[in-house]
Amino acid sequence: MVLYNLPFIAAGLLMAFGIAAMLLRRNLIKMIMGLSLVEAGVNLLLVSLGYRAGGIAPIFTNAPRDLMVMPTVQAMTLTNIVIGIATTALLLSFVMVIYRRYGSAEADVVRRLRG
Amino acid sequence: MSMSKIVRAAACVLLPFILVFGFYIVMHGHLTPGGGFQGGAVIATGFVLLMAAFSYDSITARLSKSSLTGGETLGLLLFIVTAAVALGLGGTFFGNWLANSGAIFGTPVAFGANPGNLNTAGVIPIMNLAVGIEVLGGLSVILLYMLSGVHEEVA
Amino acid sequence: MIVPSLLLQHAPALLLAVPMLGAFATPLLGRLGSGIRNAWAVLAMLCTLLIAVVLATEVLATGTIVYAFGAAAPHLSVPLDSGGIPIRIIFTVDAMSAFMALFASIVGFAVLLYSLKSQSRNSGQDGYYALLLLLTVGILGMVCTGDLFNFFVFLEINSLAGAALVAYRVDKGVAVEAGLKYAVLSTLGGLLVLFAIALLYGQYDALNIAMIASRMQFTLLDKVALVMLVVALAMKAGAVPMHFWTPDAYSMAPSAVTAFLVVASQASLYGIFRVVFSLYGLALDCLTVGWVLIILGVLSMFVGVTMAIPQKDVKRLMAYHAVSQTGYMLLGVGVGVAVLGNQDLLTAYGRIAMEGGIFHIINHAMYKGLLFLTAGAIFYRTGTRNLNKLGGLGHSMKWTMVFFMIGALAIAGIPPFNGFASKLMIYESVFLFNPLLSIIAMVVSILTLASFVKVFHSIFMGPKLPEYADVREVPAPMLIGMGILALFVILFGIFPQQVVDLLITPAAAALIDQGGYIASILGGA
């Protein structure tokens, strides 16, 4: 039972670590790493939702009569990975611009907007 | 700043294989795990290898950003036009108007365990190709921009 | 007017395909010259607007339209061999969706016209127009889709395009800082939404909203999912206490973009309403959820307006007012949710409160868009947003002053402008529910008026300042963009009853009628 639930626990832990990193780290790059960890946690949750014990890869021409794992969640995960790459690239380029202009990527320094 | 001669030579040897593997993943997207995004990403890693081995200037001399963005745009247009053609043929948007038609990619899929036929699945391979071109252009241009440092100098 | 049947039949798909095609082709056409590119962007947005009009007329005439992508025919949401389960991505356009799509494309068109001139001095305009069209795709997709995962994808398109546009004018890195903040929060919100979708999918094996709604059990996991969806979307909508990104993003983005970001936030608000009414519906503990929305609304109203009063930056001030106005919508619809289970109270005042809240969405988009555009016009000519430095512009920018006045009176709820119409509906109905809430809403309105009187005075009144001696009126495209929005502000203010009957009542009825929403996909009743 614990073994069966292990992916879900891991997904929760990954998300918790990610959110903790976002809250506790002062460096912008590390905060983005935390965001990626949250994303990895959600992806792991999605993939483990589709797992069926003993299931095979869901490829139509291979063995359509056997038990397969769910392909829908895998498609969702893939979409999320693609979105994640776009987001991470955008965020990192923002940090690059900020580093150029402010001379630092620490959250304590990057605080010109107040009020 | 380019890397040593050994690295550069190795990159040149590896590049064709990476390209072929990437195109294989794109074109077999409807049969095996993979598809446009994954294949495009593999091809883009080939360019990353070049960027790591050679200097930024020598890469941009051969491969301009505008040709990469042009490729990206063409991929997107191919995708959306393929989806829209179905409207003209009486189906809905994204309808698979090539499947089982007997034309290119139009062979019906055989039931039971079989190794798979490349000439099946209708518009799916075409869309994989479109996404492959788009991702290849998009990822390469992102990496080129990141390599060139901050690109939006104009405030 | 005879609409070609192809357009009519495929309107939901074309509504997304046209701006998407526009966005993708913009960089390519940008190589041919900026004139061709601008014409192309305007054409794409105009076509989108026309399709939205066609779609809305059709939905209001015949009821909910279903569009199954890739099926043999658009209405085949449940294929015969699928065993009664809807497959494929399905768009479910009911009166509420059509209403949102209609006004989003109106604002989009006005913003695009305005941008032609206001952005003409900036570099990288190919990207600007592509992102603006992409943001339109994100908003229209969010309001039209009937599929939860598809909703998430469009939410992310919305966030990414929005964040890139916020940071578009780098402005010594400050705009990028605002963009970074917006992007990080949106992405985290998006991941929370996806987590909630995963929880729902794990239980009900479906992504279609109607399918999940028909199987809804309201287990503990569903409650967790509900909390995550509402928190994430309320954050995107900029409700207090998750509002801290709004002033930064709204003030640092180019003004045209800010006017459109308001609409983008309201698409998230639509997401909350869709989740609460269509996905959960009567399975909810309506009173609790209703009160949560009401409290969020009252907090937003009050905190927003009190934070707005001391601001020195005119756009930052307006951004806090946007937070405050979002509160009215949450209050109105929250009252509707709180009495959802009780048919008598719903007819007595629940429906009116919801209609007021929904009417306020469109009104807010119009007058707040107008206000942000006037702020942009002032910035375009003077180069500052600081209220202490501005003054005496009434002499040289008369049209901008008139438009600002229309927007300011509308946001303060003064007749005969549209803000009055929707606020009156909210006051009257909420008073029957709980008099105290109604009084708070009125006090907030008075504070809003006070704040805008101050802004009006410090920007336009007073003697002509020497440093702004050569300030002229802004170019015609910017005035036309503002004029379109001002026209709607006045029209909706003079004929509120007609607008409510035509657009708002069907939209509120569509939200309440969960059974009809499910039946439109699954068939039967």
Q: Which chain C residues are closer than 8 Å to A83 by Cβ?
A: 153, 156, 160, 190
Average pLDDT over residues A78-85: 89
Which of B103-107, C291-295, C360-364, C498-502 is predicted least confidently?
B103-107
The percentage of residues in chain A with a pLDDT greater than 90, rounded to a whole number, is 23
Give the per-residue pLDDT at C210.
84
Residue C90 sits at φ, ψ, to 5 deg, of -120, 130
Subunit contact A49:C149, Cβ cutoff 8 A: no
Average pLDDT over residues C283-295: 84
CA dist C247 and C372 (Å) reads 12
State the best of C14, C32, C69 to mutate against chain B, taking most chain B CBs within 10 Å: C69
Residue pair C117/C474 in contact by the 8 Å Cβ criterion: yes
With a cut of 50, say whether residue B154 has pLDDT above it: no
User: What's the half-sphere exposure (Cβ side, CA atoms, 13 Å) at C240?
Assistant: 24
With a cut of 80, say whether residue C402 has pLDDT above it: yes
Which of C218-232, C314-328, C508-522 is predicted least confidently?
C508-522
pTM for this entry: 0.90
CA dist B79 and B129 (Å) reads 9
Residue pair C317/C397 in contact by the 8 Å Cβ criterion: no
Residue A106 sits at φ, ψ, to 5 deg, of -90, 140
Q: How many independent structural domains does chain B possess?
A: 1
Task: Tell me which residue in A94, A100, A112 faces C183 most closely, judged by beta carbons.
Answer: A94
Give the per-residue pLDDT at C425.
87
With a cut of 60, say whether residue C525 has pLDDT above it: no
Q: What is the pLDDT of residues C178-203, one digit of tens each?
A: 888 889 889 999 999 999 999 888 88
Q: Which of residues 23-42 of B touch A (CB under 8 A)?
A: 31-33, 37
In sequence order, which residues have a C-beta less than 8 Å from that of residue C96 and are 6 or more positions away? Answer: C143, C270, C273, C274, C358, C507, C508, C510, C511
Give the per-residue pLDDT at B151.
40
With a cut of 70, say whether residue C506 has pLDDT above it: yes
Subunit contact B92:C10, Cβ cutoff 8 A: yes
A1: closest CA of chain B, how far (Å): 30
Give the per-residue pLDDT at C196.
92
- Which structural domain range is residue B25 located in? 5-147
Give the per-residue pLDDT at C154.
92
Subunit contact A62:B113, Cβ cutoff 8 A: yes
Does residue B28 fall inside a structural domain? yes
DSSP letters along C440-470, please? Answer: HHHHHHHHHHHHHHHHHHHHH-SSPPGGGTT
Q: What is the pLDDT of residues A22-75, one digit of tens each?
A: 888 888 888 899 999 999 999 999 888 888 777 777 776 666 566 778 888 888
Q: Residue C405, Cβ neighbours under 10 Å: how many?
A: 17
Confidence band, pLDDT 50/70/90 cuts, at residue A113: low
* Residue B89: both structure tokens together: 């043929």
In sequence order, which residues have a C-beta less than 8 Å from that of residue A68 and are 6 or more positions away? Answer: A52, A55, A56, A57, A58
Q: Which of residues 74-103 of A touch B (CB under 8 A)?
A: 78, 82, 85, 89, 92-93, 96-97, 100
Does residue B77 fall inside a structural domain? yes
Confidence band, pLDDT 50/70/90 cuts, at residue C152: very high
Q: How many independent structural domains does chain A possess?
A: 1
With a cut of 80, say whether residue C3 has pLDDT above it: no
CA dist B145 and B123 (Å) reads 33
Quick one: which of C327, C315, C311, C319 has its CA closest to C451?
C311
- Which structural domain range is residue A36 located in? 2-102
Does residue B155 fall inside a structural domain? no
Answer whether C170 touches A (CB < 8 Å). yes
Instruction: Please write down the HEC assignment for all residues of C206-217.
Output: CCEHHHHHHHCC
Q: Is the dihedral of CA C274, C159, C265, C485 positive or negative?
A: negative
Give the per-residue pLDDT at A20.
92
Give the per-residue pLDDT at C82.
67
Give the per-residue pLDDT at C155.
92
In sequence order, which residues have a C-beta less than 8 Å from that of residue B57 and are 6 or more positions away? Answer: none
Q: What is the pLDDT of residues C403-456, one digit of tens each?
A: 888 888 888 888 888 888 888 888 888 888 888 888 888 888 888 888 888 888
Does residue A70 fall inside a structural domain? yes
Average pLDDT over residues C265-293: 85
Answer whether C180 touches A (CB < 8 Å). yes
User: Domain holding A60: CATH number?
Assistant: 1.10.287
Confidence band, pLDDT 50/70/90 cuts, at residue C459: confident
Longest Cα separation, chain A: 63
Which of C467-471, C495-499, C511-515 is predicted least confidently?
C467-471
Q: Which helix (H) or strand (E) holds C65?
A: strand C65-68
With a cut of 60, say whether residue B155 has pLDDT above it: no
In sequence order, which residues have a C-beta less than 8 Å from that of residue B71 and are 6 or more positions away? Answer: B133, B134, B136, B137
Q: Which chain A residues are closer than 8 Å to C149 by Cβ?
A: 76, 79
Burial group, residue A78, by CB count within 10 angstroms (0-12, 13-18, 19+): middle
With a cut of 70, say whether residue C524 has pLDDT above it: no
Q: What is the pLDDT of residues C78-101, one digit of tens each?
A: 776 666 777 788 888 888 898 889
Domain extent listing, chain C: 285-494
Average pLDDT over residues A15-27: 89
Q: Residue C498, Cβ neighbours under 10 Å: how many?
A: 11
Taking CA–CA distances from C196, the nearest residue in chain A reads A42
Residue pair B148/B72 in contact by the 8 Å Cβ criterion: no
State the best of B81, B92, B135, B142 to mutate against chain C, taking most chain C CBs within 10 Å: B92
Residue C219 three-state SS: coil
Task: Tell me which residue in A59, A82, A93 faces B146 most closely, judged by beta carbons.
Answer: A93
Subunit contact A64:B112, Cβ cutoff 8 A: yes
Confidence band, pLDDT 50/70/90 cuts, at residue C73: confident
SS3 content of chain C, % helix, strand, coil (to 5): 80, 0, 20
Average pLDDT over residues C335-351: 82
- Computed over every residue of chain C, the mean pLDDT equals 85
Which of C38-47, C353-362, C405-414, C465-474 is predicted least confidently?
C465-474
Taking CA–CA distances from B124, the nearest residue in chain C reads C70
Distances (CA, A) of C458 to A67, C101, C314, C385, C453: 72, 36, 10, 11, 9
A96: closest CA of chain B, how far (Å): 6
Residue C168 sits at φ, ψ, to 5 deg, of -60, -45
* Residue C518: both structure tokens together: 């499910």
Average pLDDT over residues A86-101: 86
Average pLDDT over residues C491-517: 84
Subunit contact A79:C153, Cβ cutoff 8 A: yes
Q: What angle do CA C85, C90, C93 make, to 5 degrees?
A: 125
With a cut of 80, say whether residue C165 has pLDDT above it: yes
Give the per-residue pLDDT at C2.
55
- Computed over every residue of chain B, the mean pLDDT equals 79
CA dist C26 and C34 (Å) reads 10
Please enumerate residues of B whose Cβ is less than 8 A from a Cβ of C. Answer: 66, 69-70, 73-74, 76-77, 80, 83-84, 86-87, 91-96, 152, 154-155
Give the per-residue pLDDT at A64.
57
Does residue B152 fall inside a structural domain? no
- Computed over every residue of chain A, the mean pLDDT equals 83
Does residue B154 fall inside a structural domain? no
CA dist B121 and C472 (Å) reads 61
* Helix (H) and strand (E) counts in chain C: 22, 2
